[in-house]
Amino acid sequence: MINLFLKELRLNRNSFLFCLIGLSAVIILAMFFYPVISSNMDMIKPFLESPMMNNLINAMVPDIANLQSPLGFFATYSGVFSLMLGSIFAIGMSSKMLYMEEKEKTAEFLLAKPVKRTEIFFGKYLSVIVLLSAIFLGVCAASLIGIEMVGGQAPLSVLLSGSNRSALSERVSENETGVSRFFERNEDNFGQFVMSVLSAQMEGNEERIKSIGIDMERVSELLPMLEENPDNLFDYLRNNLDAVSGIVPGNFTEGELVEAIEEREAEFRRMKKVYLNGGKEFDELFLADPEYFLSQIKDSPELRAEFTEALSLGGKFEADVFIKYRPESLILYNFYFYLLTVLFASVGFFISAVSGKFSPFGISIGVVIVLYLLDTFTKALSGIRAIGMASPFRWVDNNVASLSYSPDYLNIFLFLVLSGIFTGAACLVYRKKDILV
Amino acid sequence: MKSIYVENVTKNYGNKRGVDGITLHAEKGETVGFIGPNGAGKSTTIHLILNLIFPDSGKITINGIDAISKGSLVRKIIGYAPSEVNYYGSMKVSELLDYSLKFYDKKKLVPGRGKILRYCGALDLDCSRRIGDLSLGNKKKLALVQSLAHDPEILILDEPTNGLDPLVKKTLFELLHEESERGKTIFFSSHSMVDVQELCERVVFIKEGKIIDEGARSFALRKKMKNVTVKLSREMGDFFEENKHVSNLKKNGHGKVYEYVFLYTGEIGELVRSMDFNYLEDINIEEASLEEIFMHHYK
């Protein structure tokens, strides 16, 4: 049996590699769209929520908001493709296993050898399972790489987008005690905060700054001084008025310049006072640049939990913004993918065992496509949604972005039992089948 | 002991003819020819013995072991070369032979590889070539090497001489003769009487799914049946036609000499005595060939 098993592995090596590379490419490439979709969620959302699109989206994700987290995005885009491609590959490869021996008449060679039909069957079956397991591992690796490349590296501003950002500002303004107590604030990091706010304001406003005529080169010369000690900056400006006059176009008198500097300084001192004192007033500063503050607490699970709980933002916010993705959720989702491919492989063997002289490929691919459409169409139409439970695609839990995503043992059991039934039935049929060559 | 014993086996395919209650056997060490026209059920019988298909009724044993319930066991001692060779086209000759050998007892692996080299050399088969690129004759050679490599007790060859040129055929016969000397049972199907006659000790005839002569009769017949040519200087009228031992009568008139050619199954002395010696010009009595017996069965 080992002999046969090894031969099947060798014989299917190329199609296996083809499938693995294809799936990995689909997964990784699709993830590159994540930052674009996620950071423009505000723009896309009304479109997605229109009645027509809503039904389509429902077919793919449990909740539109899911698109915002790297995992939810993965399950929506890459997941949809890889489930389909993986299933077609699994059923195509397995239904070919027995059929090709009959069609190419090599069965006459194989069956004249001292092997039991059961051994032939399981030698082939195991080789398919091993290849599918390798694809499972490959898909796990590809999806981790894909997510890590875009999700893992994504700045908080990407993660903190759309509904999450609006929820945050809403909850912060509702909160009575203010959020200052969660963050470390002192003379030293005030400079960094100011810098962060400035760069956040400048980002995306480059055109406007240019049209006013502000000399950015001059400004960037002054910035290091601002970060080091803002107080010194104003003293420096007062003593070097010509440095200021070049920044903004137009002729200003010395008095006007001093006045402007002092005005800014007063504003600045007030801001610093608020920053250091905290209290409700601080919330305004927080909302001016939440990424700056949230990045302070993102690495501490206790602080994160405390913060989201105090503002009652919920687990999804925490998952989206801080955790980005849970590798175990990703593996579990891919494990469902694996179970699905194993089930379709078993179905493929069954179709191939009962199909006689007719090619099983058409039926096999048809089965996958019909079950896939059954799942998606019934998801889109809420009235008949339950009918989709008959499709194994539905048993893949795609609510992967949820923090409470955990194995659904009933579905896993269903996958395993059905795979077993189809495999057993296929083997029984094959054992007593006349092989006409 | 009977190496191969097929007892009252019937197999129907529905619209296609299978075999109908056939019984045949091969003794241990015997070389048996299995003769019949194309479509008579030769390959079906062999596929039944090998368990590719299952009989509707009847029994098949190999060395006394049930070949249907213990198929994988009995196939250990069988070597099989099919009539149409369809092996994995993407494999090399050497890969297939090694793959084939690994299905058998591990102890046979090393001597088997030695045998493969020997047989490939003898039959002039290039082991490094891809099976898909082989000619029909070379595929046939590959099938034969494959069937011999694990040194089986029983060789089942389905039309082994098809597509082989006369020289290779001669080498094959030498090989098979050698194997037979070493005590192998050889079951050899063919539609060519000449090949069978050269190699086989006994012949089984099959026609339209039925065994019409399982060896003993043909063999006795072959001993008894004579091919007679008589030249006479006068017309004999219905003299030969009326004799019940005469068949396949052919008559040629040459003016003064009349030639009668026929198969004769009776006592030869009786035939000679019955003739009028005054007119007898020439008489030639020889053993009938299997070809002639074959025609006798299928006419």
pLDDT digit string (tens) for B60-117?
999 999 999 998 999 999 999 998 899 998 899 999 999 999 999 888 888 888 889 8
Model-level pTM? 0.75
Q: Least CB-CB distance to B87: which of A106, A113, A432?
A: A106
* Confidence tier at B220 by pLDDT (50, 70, 90): low
Which residues are B6's β-sheet partners? Answer: B24, B60
Residue B51 has pLDDT above 60, yes or no: yes
pLDDT tens-place string over residues A190-221: 878 887 777 777 766 777 777 777 777 777 77
pLDDT tens-place string over residues A46-78: 777 777 777 777 666 666 666 777 788 888 877
Q: Least CB-CB distance to B54: which of A7, A432, A437?
A: A432
pLDDT tens-place string over residues A214-245: 777 777 777 777 777 777 778 888 777 777 76
Q: Least CB-CB distance to B53: which of A11, A116, A435?
A: A435
Residue A158 has pLDDT above 60, yes or no: no
pLDDT tens-place string over residues A5-38: 988 888 888 889 999 999 999 888 888 887 777 7
pLDDT tens-place string over residues B145-177: 999 999 999 999 998 888 888 888 888 899 999
Answer yes or no: are the C-beta atoms of A64 and A49 closer than 8 Å. Answer: yes
Q: Least CB-CB distance to A115: which of B72, B88, B89?
A: B72
Provide the number of CB pairs (under 8 Å) joining chain A to chain B. Answer: 64
Closest C-alpha among A162, A98, A87 to residue A338: A87
Per-range mean pLDDT, top range of A278-287, B57-66, B254-263: B57-66
State the Cα angle at A218 between A214 and A220, rounded to 5°: 100
* Six token digits for residue B6: 């097929």
Closest C-alpha among B247, B234, B243, B237 to residue B295: B247
Answer yes or no: are the C-beta atoms of B97 and B145 closer than 8 Å. Answer: yes
State how far residue B198 is from chain A, nearest Cα, in angstroms.
Answer: 27
Interface confidence, given as ipTM, is 0.80
State how far residue B275 is from chain A, nearest Cα, in angstroms.
Answer: 56
* Confidence tier at B212 by pLDDT (50, 70, 90): confident
- For residue A115, the chain B residues in CB contact (below 8 A) are 72, 75, 103
State how far residue A120 is from chain B, nearest Cα, in angstroms.
Answer: 11
- Please indicate whether, in this complex, the C-beta atoms of B73 and A436 are within 8 angstroms of each other: no
The residue of chain B with its CA nearest to that of A113 is B75
What is the Cα–Cα distance from A39 to A53, expressed in whole angstroms? Answer: 19
Residue B82 in contact with partner chain A when CB distance is under 8 A: yes
SS (H, E, C) A89-125: HHHHHHHHHHHHHHHCCCHHHHCCCCCCHHHHHHHHH
